[in-house]
Amino acid sequence: MVTVVNDTLVVPLSAVSTPLIFFDPDLAYLISSATYIHIASLGATIWDVLDNLGNDYRLLVHYEIRAPTIIYFLTRVSLLGFSLGRAVPLTKPLDDCAALQRSNSVFLILFIASTTALFYLRVCAVCAMERKIVIGIGVVSSTSVGMAQTLS
């Protein structure tokens, strides 16, 4: 039977429960910490969505649906999709990781673009459409959305 030899430790491959055993211990620690952070952020995102279901329902039913509302929901859905898309391959090996990565890139681009657009709308509202500020933030927002396109 093939065995894994790590300095003085000899482990049968049938007893290996994690692929992290093949990494340096420091790197394995960093990878597992990053995995825990992704899972925790997914949990916080799901908690936030569930906690705000009543408010989101009220926003959809009792108020007029306009561009900021659509951008808000696009931001929420894309964040949830990206968080799920990052957490799944970290916790379960997949056969077709490339397809998941492509869809996750789409969620990331949508998230960055919609969050930037929502920020731009808020700045325009707070600054009472002051021309210099609106143009400056508009240029920065456009740059951010353009850079997000390179992530695909």
State how beta strands 9-12 and 3-6 pair.
antiparallel
CA 48 distance to own-chain centroid: 14
Q: How confident is the model over 76-103, as pLDDT tens digits?
A: 999 999 999 999 888 887 888 888 889 9
Answer yes or no: is pLDDT of 72 > 60: yes
Answer yes or no: is pLDDT of 12 > 70: no
Mean pLDDT confidence for 122-130: 89
Strand partners for 10: 5
Identify the CA nearest to 147 among candidates 121, 117, 113: 113
**32 exposure class (CB count in 10 Å sphere: 0-12, 13-18, 19+):** middle
| Residue 5 confidence (pLDDT) | 54
Least confident of 1-10, 99-108, 132-141: 1-10
- What is the CB-side half-sphere exposure of residue 62 using CA atoms within 13 A? 6
Give the whole-angstrom CA distance, residue 2 versus residue 23: 17
Identify the three-state secondary structure at position 3: strand
Query: Phi first, then psi: what are they for 4, rounded to 5°?
Result: -100, 130
Domain regions of the chain by residue span: 42-151
| Residue 96 confidence (pLDDT) | 83
What number of H helices and E strands is found in the chain? Answer: 5, 2
Mean pLDDT confidence for 102-110: 93
Give 36's DSSP letter. Answer: H
Give the whole-angstrom CA distance, residue 29 versus residue 24: 9
